[in-house]
Structure formats: C-alpha cells, structure tokens
Amino acid sequence: METWKQKARQLKKETYAIYLACKDPRVPWYARLFAAGVVAYAFSPLKG
C-alpha cells in the first residue's frame, strides 16, 4: 500500500511541474496544449 501512496505523491509532483511549465510565457502554444492533455489524462477517472 505504501508504494501506491508514494507513486501517487510522485505523480502529483510531476503533474504540478507540468502545470508550472505551462504558465511560463517562453513555452510555445503547442507544448502547452500537449501538457494540458497530459495533465487531463493524469486526473482522468476513465484510465484503464
């Protein structure tokens, strides 16, 4: 059970890092769009 909690914490950190990168004005629009898709997938309840 502890490994699941650890993996969830790591996913949360990585997702937040992607979110912060999206807010940087130097990031191109297409990278922001891709990152938004990654974040949406990470929080999607429909994962198989």
Q: Which of 38, 32, 37 is nearest to 14 (CA)?
A: 38
Decide if 6 is inside a domain: no
- Residue 47 in this model has a pLDDT that exceeds 60: no
List, for residues 10-42, the tens digit of each pLDDT value.
888 888 888 888 888 999 999 999 988 887 887
Give the mean pLDDT of 4-12. 84
pLDDT at 46: 62
Decide if 18 is inside a domain: yes
| Secondary structure class of 32 (helix, strand, coil) | helix
Decide if 1 is inside a domain: no
The CB density around residue 32, as the number of other CB atoms within 10 Å, is 15
Helix boundaries (H) for 1-48: 2-23, 29-42
What total number of domains does the chain contain?
1
The boundaries of the domain holding residue 26 are 11-42
* Eight-state DSSP code of residue 27: S
Decide if 38 is inside a domain: yes
- Is the pTM higher than 0.75? The answer reads no
